[in-house]
Amino acid sequence: MRTAHGSTARAGFAGFALERGQPIGDQIVGRLMAAIRSGAVEPGSRLPSIRALAEQLGVNRNTVAHAFRELAEKGYVETRFGGGSIAARPAPTLPAASPVQVPAGAAPAPAGAPLSEREWERRFARHLNGYLSPVTPPLFPTGAPRPINLFQMRPDTGLFPLEAFRRCLNTVLRRGGRHLLNYGSPAGYLPLREQIARRLRQQHIDADPSQVLIVTGSQQGIDLLARAFVDAGDRVVVESPMYSIALKIFSVNGARLHPYAVGPEGVDLRPLEQLHPHEAPKLFYAVPNFQNPTTHSYTLEEKAALLGHAYRLDSLVIEDASDAELHGEPQRWPALAALDRTGRVIHLNTFSKTLVPAVRVGWLCAPTPLVRRLTELKEMTDLSQSLILQAAIAEFMERGIFDEHVARLRTAYRTRMERVLELLERALPREVSFTRPDGGLCVWVDLPAHVDVQRLFEQTRRRGVLVSPGSLYQPLASGRNGIRLCVAAEPEERLAEAFAILGRELEEVLRSPPPAPAEQEYQSMH
Ligand SMILES: Cc1ncc(COP(=O)(O)O)c(C=O)c1O
């Protein structure tokens, strides 16, 4: 029965017959474990497909799938990307370490150890009170079929030119060799900063490499800037609704938030008129192109007006351009940093959407004196990022693959969005409206104020569809009501299924009577 590596033989199951009276799953699990342990099946051997084995044994596919899952949990089976399973050998279990002998009386244990949940809570810094959940309930029970995930802002990783990137990785490892194996500069790998500065200049943002700081995703950039500038009680101007984790970051740092609305008709900057220089905000945080979560792009007038308020109040502006490159041309949707001539706009961007989130590389562009100080602050968090990945990305850009890839992405997402909008048009109730973005990853669905989006989230979740409730994005107790749907990472059939479920649930929610006025305000998660 010895099966060679890569053989398509029914590794481990040739001549296998089930015994009566024994659970079938246990027999399958036992058979393969024994075959691997005895060496009859070598690790790496291809296993029969679930369908083939179910047919061979005359049993239900689910039974075999369950058994394979159990084998995978035990480390005897690995599922391959793209389908198929191979035999594996679990890592040997380490011998139990002998207990450390504490000299008698040297370290008397305090009463009450180990610490209770409440004790942990008490020990956290006060400014984190109420922000860190002791338990994060799983979005979906383990073992249930994979939900249709419209919740996370995920790109379609299938569009990533993996082979080309692997070649870049190989090249830099061969060429850069051991230089790439150490800590790098906390500001980032210089050739990557040069490439990014070049790209920024193409976007009409005046940048040289000394103005570029590499960060662990734009997320770290927001955190870094909040830590750098916000003292408890400082004012920060934000959008409503706004990017949910930026909302958390500013709140945790004790900021007093001054929101302005990003509505279906555009941004309403009137609340900023009431701010006077003596109560000036330290910062503005905005996502002016393809805003998260609403997908709105500020008009040129809106951008100019926002900058005008920042200048009048002598505030700094954080421009988060995380999603912008997926949509389009910088002439059509210029960055705030391209319009600014005063150096007050700090521009953030990321490779998470144009490459893949897994590279965890983003950048911040700001005047050099600020970048120097931020570099030191960032070093306190992470010392530096992976030189290997940064060098591979720089190579990817130098070869021109990045530019070509982004151009292809724009077309792919635009085509997909057209299809998504058609599907939504058919599936959602007529009285519901949604944004029509020019490509990108998400659509925002506006809902009447009385709709409880948290309840809608729960209802669709029970039916296997995760949507993002607008309550996550609210700096105000009542703001633009709706849900965000991220539509890039699920195949079309699953999207159609999800929209049909959402449409049915929405019909029901819309028919429910609005709650009594006191309950009408829906609650932010913070
Ligand atoms: C507006 C916005 N900013 C920042 C981030 C963080 O992204 P990353 O850290 O992957 O660059 C996201 C992620 O979706 C986002 O939507």
Between the CA of 143 and the centroid of ligand 1 the distance, in Å, is: 29
DSSP H or E segment with residue 134? none
The C-alpha atoms of residue 247 and residue 340 are separated, in whole angstroms, by 25
Q: From the alpha carbon of 153, which atom of ligand 1 is closest?
A: 14
In this predicted structure, what is the pLDDT of residue 519? Answer: 47
Task: Give residue 284's Cα distance to chain centre.
Answer: 23
Between the CA of 311 and the centroid of ligand 1 the distance, in Å, is: 26
In this predicted structure, what is the pLDDT of residue 319? Answer: 98
Between the CA of 275 and the centroid of ligand 1 the distance, in Å, is: 28
Best residue for ligand 1 mutational test, from 243, 319, 346 (most atoms within 8 Å of Cβ) = 243
Instruction: Judge if the upstream peptide bond of residue 293 is cis by omega within 30 degrees of 0.
Output: yes
Pocket of ligand 1 (CB under 6 A): 153, 217-219, 243, 287, 292, 320, 322-323, 350, 352, 357, 362
The C-alpha atoms of residue 46 and residue 11 are separated, in whole angstroms, by 7
In this predicted structure, what is the pLDDT of residue 83? Answer: 67
Between the CA of 287 and the centroid of ligand 1 the distance, in Å, is: 10
Best residue for ligand 1 mutational test, from 150, 152, 218 (most atoms within 8 Å of Cβ) = 218
Question: Going by DSSP bridges, is the β-strand pair 235-240/256-263 parallel, antiparallel, or unpaired?
Answer: parallel
Question: Going by DSSP bridges, is the β-strand pair 266-268/256-263 parallel, antiparallel, or unpaired?
Answer: antiparallel
Residues whose CB falls within 8 Å of the CB of residue 446, separated by 6 or more in sequence, listed in order = 264, 432, 433, 434, 480, 481, 482
Residues whose CB falls within 8 Å of the CB of residue 205, separated by 6 or more in sequence, listed in order = 335, 337, 338, 347, 365
| Cβ atoms of residues 443 and 420 within 8 Å | yes
In this predicted model, what pLDDT tens digit does every residue of 301-346 receive, in sequence order? 999 999 999 999 999 999 999 988 888 777 788 999 999 999 999 9
In this predicted structure, what is the pLDDT of residue 1? Answer: 42
**DSSP states of 412-472 as a string?**
HHHHHHHHHHHHHHHHS-TT-EE---SSSSEEEEE--TT--HHHHHHHHHHTTEE-EEGGG
Q: Token digits for 363?
A: 């950048």
CA-nearest residue for atom 15, ligand 1, is: 322
CA-nearest residue for atom 5, ligand 1, is: 219
Q: Which segments of the chain have a pLDDT < 50?
A: 1-9, 519-526
Best residue for ligand 1 mutational test, from 149, 323, 352 (most atoms within 8 Å of Cβ) = 352
Q: From the alpha carbon of 291, which atom of ligand 1 is closest?
A: 1
Domains of the chain with bracketed CATH: 24-87 (1.10.10.10), 148-156+405-519 (3.90.1150.10), 162-399 (3.40.640.10)
Between the CA of 214 and the centroid of ligand 1 the distance, in Å, is: 14
In this predicted structure, what is the pLDDT of residue 176? Answer: 78
CA-nearest residue for atom 12, ligand 1, is: 322
CA-nearest residue for atom 14, ligand 1, is: 153
Q: From the alpha carbon of 222, which atom of ligand 1 is closest?
A: 4
Between the CA of 450 and the centroid of ligand 1 the distance, in Å, is: 29
Between the CA of 352 and the centroid of ligand 1 the distance, in Å, is: 8
Locus of tokens 């689910």: 62
Between the CA of 246 and the centroid of ligand 1 the distance, in Å, is: 9
Q: From the alpha carbon of 287, which atom of ligand 1 is closest?
A: 1
Best residue for ligand 1 mutational test, from 346, 349, 350, 354 (most atoms within 8 Å of Cβ) = 350
The C-alpha atoms of residue 228 and residue 236 are separated, in whole angstroms, by 13
Between the CA of 53 and the centroid of ligand 1 the distance, in Å, is: 44
Between the CA of 221 and the centroid of ligand 1 the distance, in Å, is: 10
In this predicted structure, what is the pLDDT of residue 525? Answer: 40
Between the CA of 326 and the centroid of ligand 1 the distance, in Å, is: 13
Q: From the alpha carbon of 216, which atom of ligand 1 is closest?
A: 9
The C-alpha atoms of residue 475 and residue 298 are separated, in whole angstroms, by 19
Locus of tokens 């570029």: 212
In this predicted model, what pLDDT tens digit does every residue of 379-392 receive, in sequence order? 999 999 999 999 99
Q: How far is CA 478 from CA 27, 266, 521, in A?
A: 57, 18, 6
Q: What is the mean pLDDT of the chain?
A: 89
CA-nearest residue for atom 3, ligand 1, is: 322
Between the CA of 245 and the centroid of ligand 1 the distance, in Å, is: 8
